[in-house]
Amino acid sequence: MTLANKPEAKPLRSDTKGERTRSAILAAAEAQFARRGYAATRLDDVAAELDMTGAALFYYFRDKGALYDAMMEHAFGTLAARLGEALSAPTSITERIERAVEAWVDTVLARPALARLILRHIADAEQHPTKRVYPSSDTFFRVAWPFFETAKKSGEIKPLHANPYHVASAVIGSTIFYAAALAPLVPSGDFDPLSSDEIAAHKRDALHTARHFLGMRPATKKGETRPSKSARKTARAR
């Protein structure tokens, strides 16, 4: 039977066992796709990790494309929610941008498989079902773009470039590289990119990059006062 002729997956059972099985499949798929990429991963690899048969896996997902899309949606769901929450917070635009940068760094460095999935997704772009990172990722960009334009018109940001993709490339790209590629490239030693101190340093760098590309001053949190001009000069000189 060809994939095109396979019946649609049956509706997920509402019982807890079915939900647990589906979650286990998504977790196993995340590990396999992050390790091998879309093209090289077989459904049998995912099923074998769970001691399942291929037929049992097809009960939940009709083919590899459906499993991949569901896995990516599941893997990036928390990140999307945190970014959406940061950008919709009842604070200044500057603070919302900084919260979004912090949410991005915190989430990806707490779950480095996300960075590996993105790199694999890019490498296999011509072979997997969609070219989006996850099926509903367009929703985030539809929200982020007008947010960027509003911030420009209000004068809260004075970006170096006319669209947000440059800052997105600088911040997103650096964190993906930091989480997924840095450790194998540096000589073995005392440097641990996922230690709390190094993560804090990377977060500061990401915020500095966003502020530079967007032409914005650091947000002043409630109860804080902005350092004087002379104090900022002294800090930069150190």
pLDDT of residue 222: 52
The per-residue pLDDT for range 194-210, each reduced to its tens digit, is: 899 999 999 999 999 99
**First-to-last C-alpha distance (Å) of the chain:** 68
Of 109-118, 191-200, 218-227, the one with minimum mean pLDDT is: 218-227
pLDDT of residue 223: 47
pLDDT of residue 30: 95
Distances (CA, A) of 69 to 2, 141, 152, 211, 225: 20, 18, 34, 33, 46
On the 0-12 / 13-18 / 19+ scale of CB atoms within 10 A, 147 is middle
Asked whether the predicted pLDDT for residue 237 surpasses 50, the reply is: no
Query: Pick the residue with more confidence: 139 or 26?
Result: 26
pLDDT (mean) for 17-41:
92
- pLDDT above 90 covers what percent of the chain? 47
pLDDT of residue 201: 96
Asked whether the predicted pLDDT for residue 229 surpasses 50, the reply is: no
The per-residue pLDDT for range 63-85, each reduced to its tens digit, is: 999 999 999 999 998 898 899 89
Closest CA to 65 of 47, 49, 41, 35: 41
Query: Pick the residue with more confidence: 237 or 142?
Result: 142
Distance (Å, whole) CA 83 – CA 191: 29
pTM metric for this prediction: 0.79
The structure tokens listed for 36 are 């091998």
Distance (Å, whole) CA 64 – CA 114: 19
**Residue 221: band (very low, low, confident or very high) from pLDDT cuts 50, 70, 90:** low
Distances (CA, A) of 194 to 117, 127, 190: 18, 31, 12
pLDDT of residue 236: 44
CATH class of 72-216: mainly alpha
The structure tokens listed for 8 are 């649609």
Any alpha helices (H) in the chain, and if so which ranges?
Answer: 16-36, 43-49, 54-58, 64-87, 93-110, 113-123, 137-154, 165-180, 182-185, 196-214, 229-237
The Cβ of residue 165 has, within 10 Å, a number of other Cβ atoms equal to 13
Asked whether the predicted pLDDT for residue 173 surpasses 80, the reply is: yes
